[in-house]
Amino acid sequence: MKPLFLRRALSIAALTVLAGCASGPQREAEWIDPALGSDSRIMRGEKVLIACDAYDATIRQICQDRLFRVLAAKGATPVVLPPGTPLLNDRELDGQLVSSAAATGARAVLVLTPATVDGGSGLSLGVGGFSFGQNSAAGIGLSAPIGFGRMSTGFAANARVTDTRSARMVWSSTHVASPSTDVGAQVEGLSLATLEAAQRAGLL
């Protein structure tokens, strides 16, 4: 018998493939700090330090570019880490960004972690690691064949918002995108879905 997580993930995979490219990213989970309230506006009209936590440099830059653009369109002022900022691999990324965020006057830190899966034959489901220091969380990657051996890969993304003043995570969400050969469009869709969820939660 498959673990509950994999049973749920397989159901998501089936629904995603049936929906095809017409379906936007779907929310899988969301959490908010009860102390934050439903209309905190912690990012609305504020500076927000953004970062994308991905092993692949290309995916990381695509993610950051898309997240920057979508967040700016939502009325916040995204800022990024200065080049050469030292980060330690044995510590949680989010916590390391708080001091840099405070130095730039940012009210919050927003980290987006995309995950993908290697292609294979037929429909496959993989669990990708969101890795930040010693902590890790599971992400879902979906793949399906297109044409003659060409693969369409699906991404999932986990997002976290940290309050710069308290250095505490106050909101988190996970979304899953439909398989596609257009990585940029998927990441942009995930960024938009993430920020729309944050808006509904009263952060924007």
User: Domain 4-200 classified CATH 1.25.40?
Assistant: no
95-146 pLDDT per residue, tens:
888 988 999 999 999 999 988 644 443 333 333 333 333 333 333 333 334 3
User: What's this model's pTM, rounded to 2 decimal places?
Assistant: 0.73
Answer yes or no: are the C-beta atoms of 190 and 179 closer than 8 Å: no
Residue 116 structure tokens: 């993908």
Q: Helix %, strand %, coil % for the chain, to 5?
A: 35, 35, 35
Answer yes or no: are the C-beta atoms of 150 and 7 closer than 8 Å: no
In this prediction, residue 121 carries a pLDDT of: 32
Residue 26 structure tokens: 């779907």
- Residues 190, 153: Cα–Cα separation, whole Å: 14
Q: What is the DSSP letter of 105?
A: T
In this prediction, residue 89 carries a pLDDT of: 64
What are phi and psi for residue 87, nearest 5 degrees?
-130, 140
- pLDDT above 70: residue 87: no
In this prediction, residue 14 carries a pLDDT of: 42
- pLDDT above 80: residue 76: yes
In this prediction, residue 146 carries a pLDDT of: 39
Of the pLDDT bands very low, low, confident and very high (cuts 50, 70, 90), residue 41 is very high
Answer yes or no: are the C-beta atoms of 170 and 33 closer than 8 Å: yes
In this predicted model, which residue has the larger pLDDT, 86 or 58?
Answer: 58
Range with the largest mean pLDDT of 71-80, 95-104, 153-162: 71-80
Domain boundaries, the chain: 4-200
Q: Is 142 helix (H, G, I), strand (E, B) or coil?
A: strand
What are phi and psi for residue 72, nearest 5 degrees?
-65, -40
Q: Is 201 helix (H, G, I), strand (E, B) or coil?
A: coil
Among residues 166, 143, 196, 162, which one has the least CA distance to residue 25? 196
Q: Is 13 helix (H, G, I), strand (E, B) or coil?
A: helix
Among residues 68, 65, 24, 28, which one has the least CA distance to residue 48? 68
In this prediction, residue 88 carries a pLDDT of: 58
Percent of the chain with pLDDT over 90: 41
- pLDDT above 60: residue 7: no
